[in-house]
Every structure is written in C-alpha cells, then in structure tokens.
Amino acid sequence: MPVRPRIARFEEIAAALSGLDLVPAMEAAFARYSTGKAIVPPVGELLLQDPPGEVHIKYGYVRGDDYYVVKIASSFPMNTALGFATGNGMMLLFNRHTGEPAAILLDRGWFTDVRTAAAGAVAAKHLAPSTVGRIGIVGTGVQARLQLRHLAGVVACRNVLVWGRGEESRRRYRDEMESEGFAVSITADAREVAGSCSLIVTATPSTEPIIHGSDVLPGTHITAIGSDTPDKRELDGPLLAKADVVVADSRAQCAYRGEIAHAVADGVLALDDVVELGDVITGTCAGRQGDEQITIADLTGVAVQDAAIAIAVCERINAGAKII
C-alpha cells in the first residue's frame, strides 16, 4: 500500500523549530558534504522578470540517510508593495529506498532563512577573531535580522553597526534589534562598517560590490551570504585577493556563483586556494590562524543544509519517531 505523505503547515513547522539548536546540525551537514558523504547535484534556478523573481531548486541526500530532499524556495521583492511576504517555498521529503513521498513541509521559505542564519553562525564560530569588538551587518531585511540573532549564540559581542540603503529601514532594524538586547548604531556609509567592525555579515541582493578591500582592517572576518545567483555580488575582487583565508560552503558551487566565482573570473583568486567550510570544521584544512588574518566565508547555500533541517524538524514533529 502506498504511504500517504505527512503534510506539515507553517505553524507546526515554526513550533518544531523553536528551541532547536541548528548550529550542530549545520556543522555536521557541512562536514558530511566536504567528506564526500552527501550527494548534491547543481542548483536549479529560474530567474523571472516583470515582476522580478527568483526560484531556487536544491536537492540531495546524505549517504546512509533514509530520505532525500527537494527544496523549492522563491523570492519576489515586489511583493512588499502588495502586502505579501517576499519569500516562499516548501520542502519535500522522499523515502530514499522506494521514492515514495514521506513529507510535504509548507514552510513558506522559512527553512531556507533559518538554515542560512545558522550557517552564518557556524562560519563565525570557526573563523571569527577571538575577540569581536563590533559586529557589522550589511542589509536590513529578514536575513540581516536572523544572522544577528544566531550570532548571539556563538559571539559574545552585542555592539552592532548596520548599513542599509534606506534611512527608514535602518531605523526599523535598529529599533527591533535593540529591543532584543543589542546596542545598534546605523550608518549610510558602508565604508564605516568595513573600517570599524571585526565581524561583518553581508545580507543583500546587491549586484555591485558594497564592501571593498581597501576599507577592511586586518583581523576582520566577513561572512557573505547575499550572492546566491551568478549575477549578485557584495565584495570586490581586491578584498578576496587580500584575504588570508577564503572559505566556500561548496567549492563546486562557488565556482559558478557567489563572491568566489566573481573573484576567480577577475583573475585575483584561484579556486585551488579556496577551502571548504566542512574541512575547516573537521580540521582537515586550516581556518583562521591568528587574530590579524582576514577571513572570508562565501555561503551560497547547499542542499545538504536543507536535508539536515528538514529531517530534524520532521523527526521533532513526530516526537523522534521515523516519518515512515
């Protein structure tokens, strides 16, 4: 008899995610990927115009797991004017042994947001300097908020400087994050972020560099997460050339999207000089070796992260029991 898939709606998913520490799950996912235990095909992508929109399809599994995962996540920036959320999507779990659908997770793209923020915390945990005097956030959207919240679990610093394109969005960000215990200053000059923060997270859809190598101080760590399509870019080439350590979530994926792809195309970085985050986590490759080094993590999002969070939430929804 075919098995009817479990359908989980957003409210149930959000409740299951509450209190779940995703940092260890993301660390394990990256480690499995870099040790060859994960099967992750190239990203499927649909770029739309009039109105602009992006649809990303990521899929994969970890050897030995009982499920494979297909994730569909979209972003339609003009939705704000319509009163709709800009992000949406779902995840589908299938029995790896039979191909039968096991679960349909109507997460509205929340899985992608949360697992990306947890990955940022992982990067900071392994690459940030031992003492962070100020955190710089480039961007004022959902991901900029989530990144700061997740950093609180791995970095003691609560002093924050945020850059955004609009004065009102900067103020809203400051007011919201200050209500959560952060001391937030705002700026209209991204150079101020680059020149005064030792831990910087870039979380924008920019197609032109915002942070430049000439402005970044020794000892800075930067986690770049906005450049998830081939045309997006937040860091300039000289910054990646200047960095002592450049880390990819996936070297194969960063060869054609993200900050690393642009730097390689510019001829200022060799892909062979890039290490993977999973290898830094396991100690196979060196990460930061001193507080004066500049380190960069280019996070383009890997399907193994989606598999890890989807399975963890499904097992929690089912009180630790197997889905099927």
- Phi, psi at 74, each rounded to 5°: -125, 160
List, in order, residues 6 or more apart from 93 with CB less than 8 Å away: 5, 67, 68, 69, 101, 102, 103, 104, 105, 310, 311, 314, 323
37, 58, 71, 242: which is the annotated catalytic residue? 71
Beta strands, E only, 147-299? 159-163, 183-187, 199-202, 221-224, 245-248, 275-276, 295-298
Task: Answer for the pair 75, 58: CB distance below 8 angstroms, yes or no.
Answer: no
Q: How far is CA 212 from CA 53, 133, 235, 264, 312, in A?
A: 28, 20, 6, 16, 38
Q: How far is CA 107 from CA 45, 110, 225, 314, in A?
A: 19, 5, 20, 12
The torsion defined by the Cα of 24, 26, 125 and 186, in degrees rounded to 10, comes to: -120
C-alpha closest to that of 216 among 142, 292, 278, 164: 292
DSSP 14-81: HHHHTT--HHHHHHHHHHHHHTT-EE-PPPEEEEETTTTEEEEEEEEEETT-SEEEEEEEEE-TTHHH
Quick count: other Cβ atoms within 10 Å of Cβ 152? 15
Whether 71 is catalytic is: yes
> Annotated active-site positions, please?
71
